[in-house]
Structure 1
């Protein structure tokens, strides 16, 4: 079963993503701090998809993505940004770091489900 991790400092956002993914054939892990998720990945966790918020304390989503790309096991792992931000320059930075896609909050549950399904090639 594919492992999808969500990183967001908002418990409300994590609860929303949990509701969307409950019926999907995936394993989900959620983190409120990017540095904790990064430490687990550096210790050997290998997610199939990473979905992260942009604006978080300590380590933001772009910093997290940059750090992920330095870990051999996640250098090419698909990553989606789930954020309220819509600025073109932020999207460009994400793209330069190998970001797979950008979903704007508040998100449409069907859109998130479709993005996960497409990236993981679920049927």
Structure 2
């Protein structure tokens, strides 16, 4: 799983919680670096993108990643009021409103069949 958000503290917390549940998470606080990683061969099974970020917004980031061959589902994560409309228009597979509870995120991940867990602690 690849998470991109300019709020690095949020990234660290969510990634840590997901890792205890067995997910492998790569985090980037700069969308340009995340795009470069995908273009260089990173193949996540899911991409979670914040919408409002410096340099590239979530839609632009997803478009560039798709241009590099990304086929994984993408989830828009944002505090925007028009989240559902924006995410559908930009080609996202789902959306999650900020702030969110970790169990909301877990339910979303269970809905996306391509998201895999790595064996390890927290696996049920």
Counterpart for residue 117 of structure 1: 110
TM-score, normalising length from structure 2?
Answer: 0.83
Aligned residues: 116
Q: Where in structure 2 are there 5+ consecutive unaligned residues?
A: 118-123
Counterpart for residue 96 of structure 2: 103
C-alpha displacement of 1:13 = 1.5
* Structure 1 position 52 matched with structure 2 position 45: no
SS class of match (2:80): coil
1:1-123 alignment, distance < 5 Å: 4-72=1-69, 74=70, 76-87=71-82, 91-119=84-112, 120=115
TM-score, normalising length from structure 1?
Answer: 0.84
C-alpha displacement of 1:106 = 0.7
Q: CA RMSD in A?
A: 1.8
Matches of 1:36 and 1:71, distance apart in 2: 13
C-alpha displacement of 1:36 = 0.1
SS class of match (2:35): helix
